[in-house]
Amino acid sequence: VISLLPSSVQPFVGTPLDDLRPLAYTLWKTDFLSQATSRDLTEFYSTQDYVPQGNRIHALNISKMYLELDQVEHSELCVVDPTLSETDRDARLAEIKAHTTAIQREAIALEATKNLANQRSAAHTFLVSAISTNLRRLYQATTCPFELFEHIKTRFESNPMDNNPTVGSRDKLSGHRARSQPVCFRC
């Protein structure tokens, strides 16, 4: 069962992730991925260049409509003259088969590409709805949902001390002071 997302994706429900609240990242990530799962979007954030398997099947079903439309618009292309010899008849049937195969291939490629673009756009839109305006501005050039999620993870997970609520601010401060003291060697 494939979920073809509508152009208007339901936005993230909750507090958007913000640089001003780095300790909330872990909770945000859990909530975000849970909501993404319910929208069939999670793989777009965890797998680079993700393509849902159902896209081609869905496109194949749509390609049948393209064939029907072509048969109505170009009915003469499907006619086989009953007076043809068996060899000519077989050749004509092969032409018709080649024509319908070409239409199906083109339709499948077009529809699968269109579906994937819509799904990636939906994944990006949902992720953007889950982050603050400041983060949106920072990553406005990133349109790939996988890359955007990776940027966010890197930003908030690169220094676990900043995001770990079990590490008190006093520990962080004393660690900062210790690092900022110049090293002095006495013999």
pLDDT in tens, 2-45: 444 445 688 999 999 998 888 899 999 999 999 999 999 999 99
Residue 159 DSSP one-character state? S
* Domain region containing 149: 22-180
Cβ(23)–Cβ(165) below 8 Å:
yes
Tally of domains in the chain: 1
Q: Is 172 a residue whose pLDDT tops 90?
A: no
User: Which band of pLDDT confidence, cut at 50, 70 and 90, is reported for residue 168?
Assistant: very low
Give the mean pLDDT of the chain: 84
Burial class (CB in 10 A: 0-12, 13-18, 19+), 108: buried
Q: What is the pTM for the complete model shown? A: 0.71
Query: DSSP string spanning 46-99?
Result: HSTT---THHHHHHHHHHHHHHHHHHHHTGGGG---TTS-HHHHHHHHHHHHHH
Model pLDDT for residues 59-114, shown as the tens digit of each residue: 999 999 999 999 999 888 889 999 999 999 999 999 999 999 999 999 999 999 99
Q: Is 155 a residue whose pLDDT tops 90?
A: yes
* Tokens of residue 37, six digits: 């799962």
Q: Does residue 145 lie within any of the structural domains?
A: yes
Q: Does residue 11 lie within any of the structural domains?
A: no
pLDDT at res. 64: 92
Q: Does residue 9 lie within any of the structural domains?
A: no
Q: Does residue 4 lie within any of the structural domains?
A: no
Q: Does residue 185 lie within any of the structural domains?
A: no
- Spell out the long-range contacts of 153-160 with Cβ–Cβ below 8 A and sequence spacing 24 or more: 153/29, 155/19, 156/17, 156/22, 156/25, 156/29, 157/25
Q: Does residue 3 lie within any of the structural domains?
A: no
Q: Does residue 8 lie within any of the structural domains?
A: no
Q: Does residue 89 lie within any of the structural domains?
A: yes
